[in-house]
Amino acid sequence: TLNYLSVPVNLGLRAGLGNVVAISVEAGPSFSYGISSESSFNDVLKNLENEGFRRFETGVNASVALSLSSFYVRLGSDIGLTNIYKKKANAESLKNASFYLGVGLRF
């Protein structure tokens, strides 16, 4: 498990559909930095500290939300564009991706 601190920079559009319902869409780039890892053998952490994986990563993200009064549900994704393997000779590519579902209250 790789743990990244990710900072998305989004541009969003929100459209009201009446007095109670609204939908919003956001998208933009994201910038991530590997801060830790969890592994039973600490292989991933050693790779982050040595020469195996890159700590800095760039990606794109997008999400859509449906708001009902002050309650909302958001579905989104963050997809890495950077091959996090450091060695260029390695023919394999490893990129991070995440999907999320969030619920919340606005007040």
Q: pLDDT digits over 37-92, tens only? A: 766 555 655 555 556 677 888 999 999 999 998 899 999 999 999 887 776 655 67
* The pLDDT value given to residue 61: 95
Question: What residue segments make up the domains of the chain, in order of their start?
Answer: 2-105
What residues contact residue 89 under an 8 Å CB cut-off, 6+ apart? none
Question: Do the beta carbons of residue 55 and residue 34 sit within 8 Å?
Answer: yes
The label of the residue with tokens 């990710």 reads: 6
* The pLDDT value given to residue 82: 85
* The pLDDT value given to residue 49: 54
* Mean pLDDT value across residues 10-14: 95
Q: Give the span between the Cα atoms of 73 and 57, in whole angstroms.
A: 27
Give me 16's structure tokens.
């009201």
* The pLDDT value given to residue 91: 65
* The pLDDT value given to residue 26: 96
